[in-house]
Amino acid sequence: MASLRIEDLWKSYGAVQVLKGVSLSVGEGDVVAVIGRSGSGKSTMLRCINGLEQFQKGRIEVAGHMLDGSHSGLRELRKEVGMVFQSYNLFPHLNVAENIKLAPRVVKGVGKAECDEIVVQVLARVGLSDKAYAYPDELSGGQQQRVAIARSLAMQPKVMLFDEVTSALDPELTGEVLLTIAELAKAGMTMVLVTHEMGFARRVATHTVFMNEGKIWEEGPSEELFANPRTPELANFIAPDLK
């Protein structure tokens, strides 16, 4: 059963056509990497999936929720679709535990004791059990991003979206975040990752999608796609990375 199905998605900003008929299917437990040049529409596609962007045409079905570009039912969908951003976007006035607890508490009405349990669980999963009472500005970028992942996990999402989550990090901090994501992949989380980390996409993602000019140019099992690109655009795109 598909956890996420995108059918013929079209999106424009004014006269600029960003997505030109994107269709994609992601099965339960799949880890899909979306690669491509800046401006190819990959982040926009990801943001359409949880309704942060509206679109003009097409359909998105995710975790059993239907999206048609309008705003109805978005909150129900977002309870089950987590998103992690490039710039972490932790709430700076709340400490780590409060960042994590906020949504379960106010959106789902989870009780205090259970919230505390969730905090312990998700922080253990991202390896930051000792940071529950730190404030975001006391943490490194890599740690902040892991907290952002934990915060998203606290809602027990069925699908997680990662929007270039290591792009703002120094190379030495990228590894710890990728490791966290790889752990989630191993645990069977359904994930879509927009990423520039080709090596990571190849190793961790079950599928890779190459976007170009607002379309899905090429897709397939990661190993195969990277080993034998069928289009010259993909071959060009990944060539410098493989040298």
Nearer to another protein, 129 or 156 (CB): 156
| CB of 99 or CB of 212, closer to another protein | 99
- Least separation in angstroms between CB 130 and another protein: 20
Q: Name the residues that contact another protein, by CB under 8 A.
A: 50, 52, 75-76, 78-79, 82-83, 85, 87, 89-93, 102-103, 106-107, 137, 151-152, 155
Q: Could you give the CA distance from residue 240 to residue 243 in angstroms, rounded to a whole number?
A: 6
Cβ neighbors of 144 (< 8 A, separation 6 or more) are 88, 90, 136
Q: How far is the CB of 92 from another protein (least distance, A)?
A: 7
Q: Smaller CB distance to another protein: residue 57 or 105?
A: 105
- Helix 112-125 to helix 96-108 angle (10° resolution) is 130
Cβ distance to another protein smaller for residue 4 or 216? 4
Query: In 3D, which of 163, 143, 90 has the Cα closest to residue 101?
Result: 90
* Minimum CB distance to another protein smaller for 107 or for 124: 107
CB of 120 to another protein, least distance (A): 19
Q: Which spans in 126-231 are helix H?
A: 141-153, 171-186, 198-204, 222-227
Closest approach of Cβ 51 to another protein, in Å?
8
Closer to another protein at the Cβ: 78 or 131? 78
- Amino acid symbol at 229: P
Q: Could you tell me if residue 41 is left (phi over 0), alpha (psi between -120 and 50 degrees) or otherwise beta?
A: left
Question: b/e map of 163-198 (b: 16 or more CB within 10 Å)?
Answer: bbbbeebeeebbebbbebbeebbeeebbbbbbbebb
Answer whether 58's CB lies under 8 Å from 10's CB.
yes
Amino acid at site 55: F
* Least distance CB 135 / another protein (angstroms): 9
Report, in Å, the least distance between residue 205 CB and another protein.
22
